[in-house]
Amino acid sequence: MANILTISIVIPVYNEAPVLPLLFAGLEATLAQLEQTQGPVEVLLVNDGSSDASWSLISAQCQRDARYVGVNLSRNFGHQRALAAGLESARGDVVISMDADLQDPPAVLPQLVAKHREGYDVVYATRSTRGKEGWCKRITANMFYRIIEKVSGVTVHKDTGDFRLMSRRALVELSRMREVHRFLRGMVPWIGFPQTQVFYDRGDRQAGETHYPLPKMLALAFDGIASMSTAPLRLAYLLCLLLFSVFLGYILWVLFDHFVYGSELVQGWTSLMSAITIFGTIELLMFGIFGEYLGRTYEQVKQRPLYIIADVERSATTKDIPLERLQPKTDAESRG
């Protein structure tokens, strides 16, 4: 009995109607294989406020196939919170999160489970190739992973997205982190427990369009850095030290000029303007960064729920699943 593993697969879905039929077909063989070799499998599709036919496709699939459960959020909460909704609604001993667009190939799922069987609580699926993604996305992604590791002090595996397996105990710890600005790629390594990775070739989106154009990627990157560290706040010291050393030379020169050469000429328009501009800009920049952290603190202290579930869709044959387990946790519960 101990060998039987209940597996939940969590997939956030936002306007993915073109790809959903391909996803259901693509999952079929893997689900059958997992059921045969590991145990029962459930697939949680979290509809993140799609405006297309995604939810009706999900509902239909749940009626057709008892392994599927649909979780419909009350509006679009964003990828990271949709993931939270799915992970916290999942009932498996292990929970795997993956994207809807088949960029995360289902064939990798058994490898993740096999690694978990070796004793790992978290197994990341890491891309060894990145499909047809442009050089710009590659370079920015590379830079980003380097910065985040430096500032956060935890190992964030490069080229590892939100395709990963987590054990129940890792998930319980993750659920205790009620951060409003969520960056799971940093939060999961932070948890600890034995963690490892498997490699796979990342394909291209099978249909539909990416929801992460460059500006949104940059926002996620800043979220990542701000949620993992307060390093940007310390930037003020660094800039202050740097500028002080530059301007110290200039001040010494001005004093020398006055007392030794007795220079009384009114000079220094250029240097005065540069000093005002540089210090003014840096002050504004630092205000901006302080403000950003202050805003995040404000959003956090409000303690709003991370997501709101509107409906849960299951087939009639899965009636035995207690509905309350699919409801979001109350604050008291989630604080443990």
Residues that bind Mg ion (CB under 5 A): 99, 101, 103
Task: Outline where 75-119 has alpha helix (H).
Answer: 79-89, 109-117
Span interacting with ligand UDP, options 59-67, 97-105, 114-122, 242-250, rule CB under 6 A: 97-105
Judged by CB under 6 A, the residue of 14, 120, 144, 200 near ligand UDP is: 14
**Nearest distance, CB of residue 331 and ligand UDP, angstroms:** 24
Judged by CB under 6 A, the residue of 93, 101, 159, 313 near ligand UDP is: 101
- Is 78 among the residues that bind ligand UDP (CB under 6 A)? yes
Which of Mg ion, ligand UDP, none does residue 14 bind (CB under 5 to 8 Å by kind)? ligand UDP
Centre a 10 Å sphere on the Cβ of residue 102 and count the other Cβ atoms it contains: 20
Query: 55 vs 120, which CB is nearer to ligand UDP?
Result: 55
- d(CA 140, CA 221) in angstroms, rounded, equals 10
Judged by CB under 6 A, the residue of 12, 106, 189, 224 near ligand UDP is: 12
DSSP-derived secondary structure for 37-62: HT--EEEEEEE-S-SSTHHHHHHHHH
**Nearest distance, CB of residue 299 and Mg ion, angstroms:** 27
Judged by CB under 6 A, the residue of 34, 62, 82, 109 near ligand UDP is: 82
Radius of gyration of the chain (CA): 25
For the chain, how are helix, strand and coil distributed in percent, rounded to 5?
Answer: 50, 15, 30
Place of tokens 């008291």: 332
For residues 7 and 27, the answer to whether their CB atoms sit within 8 Å is no
- d(CA 26, CA 88) in angstroms, rounded, equals 25
Query: 98 vs 226, which CB is nearer to ligand UDP?
Result: 98
Query: 148 vs 232, which CB is nearer to ligand UDP?
Result: 148
- d(CA 205, CA 263) in angstroms, rounded, equals 70
Query: 93 vs 159, which CB is nearer to ligand UDP?
Result: 159
Give me the residues that bind ligand UDP (CB under 6 A), please. Answer: 12-14, 16, 48, 76, 78-79, 82, 99-101, 103, 210-212
